[in-house]
Amino acid sequence: MSRLSYYLLPATILLLIVTATAAATSPPPIPKFTGILVFGDSTMDTGNNNHIPLAVFKANHKPYGGNFPLGHKPTGRFCDGSLIPDMVAGRLNIKQAVPAYMDPDLTDEDIRTGVVFASSGTGYDDLTAAIAQAIPMGKQVEMFREYIGRLAGVVGGMEEANRTVGGALVLISSGTNDFVDNYYDLKIRRLVYDLGQYQDFLLAKVEAFVKDIYSLGGRLMVVSGLPPIGCLPIQMSASLELNPHHRSCIQEQNSESQSYNAKLEKLLPELQASLPGSKIAYANVYDPLLDIVTEPQKYGFEETRKGCCGTGLLEAAFLCSPWSPTCGDQMAAKYVFFDSIHPTEATYRVLADTLAGQLLSVYSPPPPPSPSPSPSEKLRSVYSPTPSPSPSPSPSPSPSPSPSPSPSSPIYF
């Protein structure tokens, strides 16, 4: 070994180690979506209900919106600030807020990058939407069809519109109102279905909805499961436990949420397999929200059993009014729930921070077909002498392509 090689070898080894370590710890690249399209209920609605005169549930008044970053004013979001669609769009570098499709002030750029079709109070069950005078999920599909026509006018034709829709991230979150309104509190559907039958009825609706979105060109979908319904403050109140010190999650309702989620998680990969070119991921909101509720101190929260608005036991929508006392915009960050149903912006941000990695793992581009040598292999190549060529070398096999992510990999929001 020459003197120069003697000095260069340690530096070469160190460089290889540093390079390999940096590659191993680099975050996955942010997926490139053409836009974001959002369907569902009040966890997704950024203001559509503002434009429905008879809608029962609206959040276009104070105290909603006090922490919303663009203006600190009510927007129709059932929250003190931003919702999950806004946060996801921001993380994906699409835009900082996703507007409602029914907003009369939509710009061409809004149409190009995506909108929200969701409606507060709706569900997969049309009866749920009828009770709340909300937009049924089927009507949201029709709005989506109309949107595609508007998009074609913005982007220069149907071919480009179809490309945009096919490359957009589609978020779907619904089902909670079906159980709360129709099964637990009003008990209308209990007269017709037992629990398992009602779950299967709703899952058939989910399947039909996903197929409708697919038929219109949607390919990259995320379908949310149920939260721990028994931990919503309004459900604790419905059990007639109004003493804040004695309130706790209703375990039976939580177990039933879990059993529905298990069925949904099984259904989605089957749907994906039947819809060529689709990628349909399950969003597990149950586990992270339950962890926040049961161990709030880990996340900086102090109140889990009531909302920030009014008494926090029953107030939501028109009951959470401009005249309702609140915990205050600053103190809202210490509350898991803003009203008796909906999380605070702080809760949504914890969910996003905790679970966004799953989105990257599912939708980031796959690794190249030929993996780079491991650090140990690189080091062996530095130390090992070059072997003599074999007289009759056999052809090297072609590398197998890296597998794509499992269709049943859960994704969290």
Q: Is 339 a catalytic residue?
A: yes
**With contact defined as beta carbons under 8 Å apart, do 145 and 67 qualify?**
no
Choose the catalytic residue: 80, 103, 181, 339.
Answer: 339
Torsional sign, CA 305, 307, 313, 317: negative
Q: What angle do CA 26, 27, 31 make, to 5 degrees?
A: 135
Q: Is 178 a catalytic residue?
A: no
User: In sequence order, what are the residues at sequence separation of 6 or more whose Cβ sits closer than 8 angstroms to the Cβ of residue 165?
Assistant: 34, 37, 148, 151, 216, 217, 218
Q: What is the DSSP letter of 253?
A: H
Q: Is 103 a catalytic residue?
A: no
Within 10 Å of residue 246's Cβ, how many Cβ atoms? 9
User: In sequence order, what are the residues at sequence separation of 6 or more whose Cβ sits closer than 8 angstroms to the Cβ of residue 88?
Assistant: 36, 169, 171, 352, 356, 359, 413
Choose the catalytic residue: 41, 42, 119, 340.
Answer: 42
* C-alpha to C-alpha distance for 340 and 324, rounded to whole angstroms: 13
Tokens linked to 262: 């298990």
**With contact defined as beta carbons under 8 Å apart, do 52 and 119 qualify?**
yes
Choose the catalytic residue: 45, 103, 119, 342.
Answer: 342
As annotated, the active-site residues are 42, 339, 342
